Structures are given as structure tokens and as C-alpha cells.
Amino acid sequence: MADPILTLPEVAVLLKVAGKTVYTMARNGQIPAFKVRGQWRFKHDDIDRWIDEQTASVKTSIGKGA
């Protein structure tokens, strides 16, 4: 089973984006995250759910002709 808690660099690899992008998204509340002693952490289940929500959102937008 995958680690239930991910670090910022691990999420960046998972999403295939720069660490700074994940940091900015976490800071702005655009991705589910929490801090442990000043360092961002992410629940793997939350990230998986967030990815599913983003995918559904894009499909809905495409269906509306956006």
C-alpha cells in the first residue's frame, strides 16, 4: 500500500509539476493539505479524491462547451 501521508516533493512527482506549483496551490487552498511543524503534508486519499474531482470538473466543462 502507498504511504498514506505524502510530502510536497512526493505530490509534485505524483502530479508531474514543480514543487513550487504544489507549494503555491497548498498555500492558496487549491489542493487539500495540512502543515506539520511548518512543512506541508498531504493525505494520499485526499489527493486521489482531488484528482478525481478535477477530472470530473474538466469533463463537465467540456460537456458544456467550455
Q: DSSP class of residue 31?
A: S
In the chain the domains, ranked by start, together with CATH numbers, are: 5-63 (1.10.1660)
pLDDT (tens digit per residue) in 38-62: 999 999 999 999 999 998 887 777 7
pLDDT (tens digit per residue) in 18-43: 999 999 999 999 999 999 999 999 99
Find out whether 8 and 39 touch, Cβ atoms under 8 Å. Answer: yes
d(C-alpha 16, C-alpha 14), whole Å: 6
Look-up of cell digits 506539520:
36
- To the question of pTM greater than 0.95 for the whole model, the response is no
